[in-house]
Amino acid sequence: MAQRKFWEELKRQQVSYWFILAPFFLFFVFVVIPTVASIFLSFTKYNVINPPHWVGFGNYKDIILHDFRFRKAMLNTIIYIIGVVPIGVILAVILAVAIDQKIRCKNFFKGVLFLPIVTSIVASSVMWRWLFAGEKYGLINYYIVMKLGFKPIDWLMSPVWTLPAIMIMSVWAGIGYNVILFIAGLQTIPQTVYEAAEVDGAGFWHKFWHITIPLLRPTVVFVVIMSCISSFQVFEQIYVMTGGGGSHIGGVLDCALTSVPYIFDEGFNKFNMGYASALAYILFLFVLVLTFINNKFVQSKVEY
């Protein structure tokens, strides 16, 4: 009786199960199978043309002990994170607090700040590549550097300035998303807390440091963690702004080479698929550990 009832219910809802099956099938084909395949390939030497050759932990050993380019990429990634995340978070908090005040055209400012998020990162990178063009043809050189009396900087061909230029672009591209999150966080803070502080004679800065920042910490935790993860995965702006393709990806002397462009270079330019898979899982471990530490360190100070 129970079995018959089960089959009748299944037949009645078969259309619903077909709708559920479609995304599960796509997830299995495009996520599960590639993930399992990449785990296997990370233990092999595979160049697409020849069959995979099992080497065990050989790829991981070579990466950790002998790959100086990997060390350069990870160092650049860490520098990128240290530069982009704090500056992006601080500017986003300042802009969010400013927009959250009683001012006109709030929605206009939100839209302007959010515009880079809905713009293709490739198109934005092309635009910033022109802005950072060398000599007097780049608008930044012409209107900022040269007007201040300095010599023009060849931003994207300099081992010193390439990574900072990309960091500037990345802060601009991501700040709007963080501002919207912080505005949402600010709106969860009860106005009665500010009113009570005003009755006690608290000024703007006292309220900012002792009310806004402490109560905004859950949002800060989320923004910092997501910014760190996205910084580890940065790719498009580096690929586009440093020329892309071949040995040029990452700029002069790999000055702007980070982890994901390096994986792309090994996998799709040099066709070292097994080696690139091992690099990808080492990066995954870095992101996992960083997220865990970030979460524990920052959330330990969060008051809910």
* 199-215 pLDDT per residue, tens: 888 888 888 888 888 88
The whole-number pLDDT of residue 15 equals 74
* Residue position matching structure tokens 């299944």: 10
The whole-number pLDDT of residue 108 equals 83
The whole-number pLDDT of residue 304 equals 42
User: Which residues, at least 6 apart from 89, have a Cβ–Cβ distance to it below 8 Å?
Assistant: 178, 220, 223, 224, 227
Element (H, E) at 37: helix 33-41
- CATH code: domain 61-299 is 1.10.3720.10
The model's pLDDT over 116-127, given as tens digits with 9 standing for 90+, comes to 888 889 999 988
Contact status, residue 84 vs residue 171, Cβ threshold 8 Å: yes
Q: Which regions in the chain score pLDDT beneath 70?
A: 1-3, 6-7, 10, 135-136, 145-146, 244-248, 295, 297-304
The whole-number pLDDT of residue 85 equals 93
Contact status, residue 209 vs residue 278, Cβ threshold 8 Å: no
pTM of the model: 0.85
Find the length of the chain: 304
What one-character DSSP code corresponds to residue 52? Answer: P
- Alpha-carbon gap, residue 177 to 113, rounded angstroms: 8
The whole-number pLDDT of residue 111 equals 82
* Residue position matching structure tokens 């990806």: 249
